[in-house]
């Protein structure tokens, strides 16, 4: 192992080592007035519950460790944004937009939807979902709703929203449930890795710009994690079709191309393309890689299998209704074939909040303080 690699591992260990996988009690007052969330199943907290979709998690044992039980979250407990909301000081978790009523919208909303992607057709193989374009449109409707509580004063509403944090985590399904599903989608025929990533960035730029036009000024944009190494891929390829003997390199290589473009997009947006806005890029690929490689440092004993699932790596079929999961979820990096455990989500949220190890050009705490 090179000296530089050793230094990086030591520094990253300092960021996460010794952190308990619990979030401290919420502060008396949140650091920002509201949090708006856009994304897929990694952060969906119940928007898909009433949709005709295979991308649903409103059954046991999902939520087995969550205080409110089974809610539609695709993990055993808290999601990444649940942990982030607590660290920011929110007294309660940000509710799904599908269940928000009245002035509760002023505290924020979660628009995320399992199977959703940047492209509208992404995830159609799993049934109904709310794409990023649709999530953005729901948010614009929410802004019109909020305007009533500011007596129609758009300037005052803009000042309020400019203090809020907007989180957007998109792209995973555009690869898993689109580009790398040639039997259902034609994108891998119409594009190569570079042109597909650029097409996604073109669409994503328009979507993020739309959020900006409706008040977003502090925006977190996440890259895609190392999805070639999730239990589903490890089980599907059974370590035959890759050079490392572990992960699906073809998918990971495509993700690296996309993530590099997302980071460049953040740079462009920060250099005046959207005046007055500040964007933060979260390197989910690197952070998920480091959690897997250094799993023992953070208490993980199993980093290549789901805690709940069926088949090789507990990843051939995802967690089934009423299935008995592993007894100690804190020892597992993955909850099911696709999603991290609560423990992993909390570690990732803490590392992104007050460190620049995975956050660029500033961390989330610095973004909140702007």
- Per-residue tokens: 229: 């190494």
Considering 41, 98, 113, 351, which one is annotated as catalytic?
41
- CA–CA dist 305, 314 (Å, integer): 6
Considering 113, 168, 172, 339, which one is annotated as catalytic?
339
Number of neighbours of residue 22 by Cβ within 10 angstroms: 12
- CA–CA dist 43, 315 (Å, integer): 20
- CA–CA dist 340, 333 (Å, integer): 6
Q: Give catalytic status of residue 287 as yes or no.
A: no
Q: Give catalytic status of residue 129 as yes or no.
A: no
φ, ψ at 276 (rounded to 5°): 85, 0
How long, in residues, is the chain? 370
The position carrying tokens 């089974």 is 70
Closest CA to 292 of 283, 302, 282, 284: 302
| Residue pair 16/97 in contact by the 8 Å Cβ criterion | no
- Per-residue tokens: 144: 């019109």
| 3 state SS of 212 | helix
Considering 168, 174, 336, 351, which one is annotated as catalytic?
336
- CA–CA dist 93, 336 (Å, integer): 22
| Residue pair 123/195 in contact by the 8 Å Cβ criterion | no
Q: Give catalytic status of residue 41 as yes or no.
A: yes
Closest CA to 179 of 216, 231, 228: 228
Catalytic residue ranges: 41, 336, 339
């Amino acid at each position: 192992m090179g000296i530089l690699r050793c230094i990086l591992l030591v520094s990253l260990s300092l960021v996460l080592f010794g952190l308990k996988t619990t979030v401290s009690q919420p502060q008396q007052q949140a650091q920002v007035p509201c949090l708006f969330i856009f994304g897929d199943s990694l952060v969906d907290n119940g928007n898909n519950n009433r949709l005709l979709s295979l991308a649903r998690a409103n059954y046991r044992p999902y939520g087995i460790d969550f205080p409110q039980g089974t809610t539609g979250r695709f993990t055993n407990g808290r999601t990444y944004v649940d942990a982030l909301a607590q660290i920011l000081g929110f007294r309660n978790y940000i509710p799904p937009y599908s269940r928000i009523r009245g002035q509760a919208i002023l505290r924020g909303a979660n628009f995320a939807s399992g199977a959703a992607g940047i492209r509208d057709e992404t995830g159609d193989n799993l049934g109904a979902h709310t794409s990023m374009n649709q999530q953005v449109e729901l948010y614009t409707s929410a802004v019109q709703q909020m305007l009533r509580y500011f007596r129609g004063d758009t300037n005052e509403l803009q000042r309020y929203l400019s203090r809020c944090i907007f989180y957007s985590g998109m792209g995973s399904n555009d690869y898993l449930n689109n580009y790398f599903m040639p039997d259902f989608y034609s994108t891998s025929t119409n594009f190569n890795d570079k042109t597909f990533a650029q097409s996604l960035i073109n669409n994503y730029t328009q979507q993020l710009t739309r959020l900006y036009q409706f008040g977003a000024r502090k925006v977190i944009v996440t890259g895609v994690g190392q999805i070639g190494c999730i239990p589903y891929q490890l089980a599907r390829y059974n370590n035959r079709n890759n050079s490392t003997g572990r992960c699906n390199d073809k998918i990971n290589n495509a993700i690296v191309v996309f993530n590099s473009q997302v980071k460049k997009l953040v740079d462009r947006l920060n250099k005046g393309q959207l005046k007055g806005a500040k964007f933060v890029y979260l390197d989910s690929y690197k952070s998920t890689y480091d959690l897997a490689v250094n799993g023992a440092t953070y208490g993980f004993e199993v980093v290549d299998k789901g805690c709940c699932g069926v088949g090789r790596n507990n990843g051939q079929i995802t967690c089934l209704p009423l299935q008995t999961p592993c007894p100690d979820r804190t020892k597992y990096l993955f909850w099911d074939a696709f999603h991290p455990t609560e423990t992993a989500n909390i570690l990732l949220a803490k590392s992104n909040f007050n460190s620049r190890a995975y956050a660029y050009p500033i961390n989330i705490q610095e973004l909140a303080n702007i």
